Structure 1
Amino acid sequence: MRKIEISTSVTVYTDVSELSSEDKMLMDKAVEARKKAYAPYSKFKVGAALLLENNQIVLGNNQENAAYPSGMCAERVAIWKAGSEFPGVKILKLVISASSSITKVERPVGPCGACRQSLSEYEIKQKQPFEVLFMGELGEIVKTASLLSLLPFSFDSSYL
């Protein structure tokens, strides 16, 4: 038997005023996308902004459906839109913002498990990590250097 210790490192910013100008601009874009989300059932809106290596910014937001679980998360909307519109263009950053019309979301909201799996495919495929920044509606922002740091022991095509 052997024991493996897994650790990850993140940077936590107190609020958006501490972000670089690029990261703040991307967070503003994620907030814009979040405000356009279709979330009549959960009342929980999420927006995502992807910065690509060609300087394009691709937005996504969650899209709910009365026939759960037919909706789609903001991160997957954005990543699949990027893959469709800009195939082969590397992702540099993913920025996420979440809010609720029921309560204030004051803690950082990271990607769900399904999104982490889907996003990891792109990071592995491009053979280059991309930064992930996420926040709630206000308050702290978490920044990681890689999506895979959020998903240790990821499942990928090497298992197939």
Structure 2
Amino acid sequence: MTREPFTNFNVVLLQPSAVLEERVASIDAMADYIKAIEAAARDAVATSQARQSTGGYLVVAVRPGEQSKVWLDFDTLLDLEIRKQLVAKAEAVKPFEARKGPVVFALKVALWGGKETRRPAPLPPEWKKAQQGGVPLEVGALAEAVWDDQPQPVPAR
């Protein structure tokens, strides 16, 4: 039996629908973007030398100005080459237009026949580090806080 290099189980919207309705200019454009991210991720995994079987999340944020950022949150530590390829290829996809703040979602995926993660939502290590000792943040604010891989101080409320 041939194992699929990349399986997308579903898309997890990480913000309330009212926020998404305000920030997503075109649902069709967002859907096309998600399909393009999935294709880029499949290509990254299929062309990698590593054949690591695991499940987890590909977390994506899009902010105004057609900027995107990708974080990975898998059940096991991913091979460095796969990590680099996944992030590079997914971030190379031209994002849809976001308005009034970031749009954050995740693809619940498996690589090389891995099992679907049981976790209901992602928490990438960069996000976890940014939240330590602080108040829980709305996911858009959290994504903005760690956007440049340099955790920004979280403003007190």
RCO comparison, higher one (Cα < 8 Å, 6+):
2
TM-score of Structure 1 vs Structure 2, range by shorter chain: 0.3 to 0.5
TM-score, with length taken from structure 1: 0.37
